């Protein structure tokens, strides 16, 4: 077990970790992955304008998946979320609208939210029975899906880039490195605004399971661990660490996911690697081999027994470096071993920050 560090094993194999490959993946890059909170149903959104769902069967070390359903948007789809009862999927994207898809009942999707620019973040908030959407139009909007207009529009200082919700905590990352914290018991007022501890653009955020803070990842291959309590004892626990780097090469941290049982977390990056970490002991638990393409998004299932990740072009090097005739998008399923995701007491040494 190593302390926080950035070394990864290099591979040009699209699947060096021998993960299970999901059949019939999207025809273009994957933009989001989300497991149902109630069953092993996995939803992927893609730049090919579609939202797909697979049913995952998992027993011991055996895993298989079956394509279940698909719907289309008019333009690339950037984000997704599940309703807490696992019956319904929400999706949003470049057509500036969010759709509600009653997946389990086989119903047709309907538009339930609109913005003035692409929607790239969303979350269902069960405690409020509301959908929150974040957009490049510099607003958050809260939606009662039975009504055509938002119940509240929250102005943001800049474009929304990242969003995480664990009621009553919500953290929004915007352009210009703003991190805006909301207490959803009073959602119309900012609880706190923080400048990111990272020096470059925010890429992803994830609220702690205990709701006492959050992680933030940036395009510079670094993650910040931030506690909300202003007491010195808590602020002294704040730190940043490097990851998804190889020598002088620096890659974006694209995805942060907490393990639903052990409270450890996974990072995935544009270097094609995913790693498991323990923030409390400041240790990396497991470094996985690098895939031949970036990993733009990932998700744990509800009990943490499956970690889904996509491997595809992530647009970090621009459209000029994307070759749709040769690029292939993959979705893989990794079955974490307990040693990879269960935290352990720290054993001496210092962390790399």
What CA–CA distance (Å, rounded) separates 63 from 82? 22
Six token digits for residue 71: 């719907």
**Under CATH, what is the fold of the domain 2-318+325-341?**
Methylamine Dehydrogenase; Chain H (2.130.10)
**Cβ atoms within 10 Å of 85's Cβ, excluding its own:** 12
The pLDDT of residue 313 is: 72
The residue with tokens 């909301």 is: 182
Q: One digit per residue, pLDDT tens: the chain, 353 residues?
A: 334 443 333 446 788 899 999 999 999 999 999 999 999 999 999 999 999 999 999 998 899 999 999 999 999 999 999 999 999 999 999 999 999 999 999 999 999 999 999 999 999 999 999 999 999 999 999 999 999 999 999 999 999 999 999 999 999 999 999 999 999 999 999 999 999 999 999 999 999 999 999 999 999 999 999 999 999 988 999 999 999 999 999 999 999 999 999 999 999 999 999 999 999 999 999 999 999 899 999 999 999 999 999 999 776 666 666 666 667 899 999 999 999 999 987 665 444 44
The residue with tokens 């069960």 is: 126
Residues 71-120 have pLDDT tens digits of 999 999 999 999 999 999 999 999 999 999 999 999 999 999 999 999 99
**Residue 302: Cβ-neighbour burial (10 angstroms; 0-12, 13-18, 19+):** middle
Which residue blocks in 177-231 are alpha helix, DSSP H?
Answer: none
Q: Of 249, 250, 253, nearest to 225 (Cα)?
A: 253
The pLDDT of residue 12 is: 63
Could you say which DSSP state residue 228 is in? Answer: S
Six token digits for residue 109: 């999707």
| Cβ-proximal residues to 336 (8 Å cutoff; 6+ apart), any chain | 259, 276, 304, 305, 306, 307
The pLDDT of residue 2 is: 39
């Amino acid at each position: 077990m190593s302390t926080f560090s950035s070394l990864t094993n290099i591979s040009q194999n699209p699947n060096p970790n021998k993960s299970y490959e999901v059949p019939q993946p999207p025809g273009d890059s994957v933009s989001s992955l989300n497991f149902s909170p109630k069953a092993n149903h996995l939803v992927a959104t893609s730049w090919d304008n579609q939202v797909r769902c697979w049913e995952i069967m998992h027993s011991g070390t055996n895993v298989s998946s079956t394509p279940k359903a698909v719907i289309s948007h008019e333009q690339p789809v950037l984000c997704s979320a599940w309703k807490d009862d696992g019956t319904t999927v929400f999706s949003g994207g470049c057509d500036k609208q969010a759709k509600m898809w009653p997946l389990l009942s086989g119903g047709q999707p309907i538009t339930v939210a609109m913005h003035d620019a692409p929607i790239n973040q969303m979350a269902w908030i069960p405690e409020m029975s509301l959908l929150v959407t974040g957009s490049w139009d510099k607003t958050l909007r809260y939606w009662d899906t039975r009504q055509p207009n938002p119940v509240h529009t929250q102005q943001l200082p800049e474009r929304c880039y990242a969003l995480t919700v664990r009621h009553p905590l919500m953290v929004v990352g915007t352009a210009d490195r703003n991190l805006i914290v909301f207490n959803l018991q009073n959602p119309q007022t900012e609880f706190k605004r923080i400048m990111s501890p990272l020096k470059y653009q925010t890429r992803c955020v994830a609220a702690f399971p205990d709701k006492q803070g959050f992680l933030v990842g940036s395009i510079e291959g670094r993650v910040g661990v931030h506690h909300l309590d202003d007491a010195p004892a808590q602020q002294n626990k704040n730190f940043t660490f490097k990851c998804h780097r190889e020598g002088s090469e620096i890659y974006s941290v694209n995805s942060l996911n907490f393990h639903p049982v052990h409270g450890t977390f996974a990072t995935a990056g544009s270097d094609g690697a995913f790693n498991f970490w323990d923030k409390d002991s400041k240790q990396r638990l497991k470094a996985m081999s690098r895939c031949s393409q970036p990993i733009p998004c990932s998700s744990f299932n509800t009990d943490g027994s499956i970690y889904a990740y996509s491997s595809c072009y992530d647009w970090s090097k621009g459209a000029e470096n994307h070759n749709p005739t040769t690029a292939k998008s993959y979705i893989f399923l990794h079955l974490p071993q307990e040693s990879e995701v269960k935290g352990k007491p720290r054993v001496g040494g210092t962390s790399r920050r």
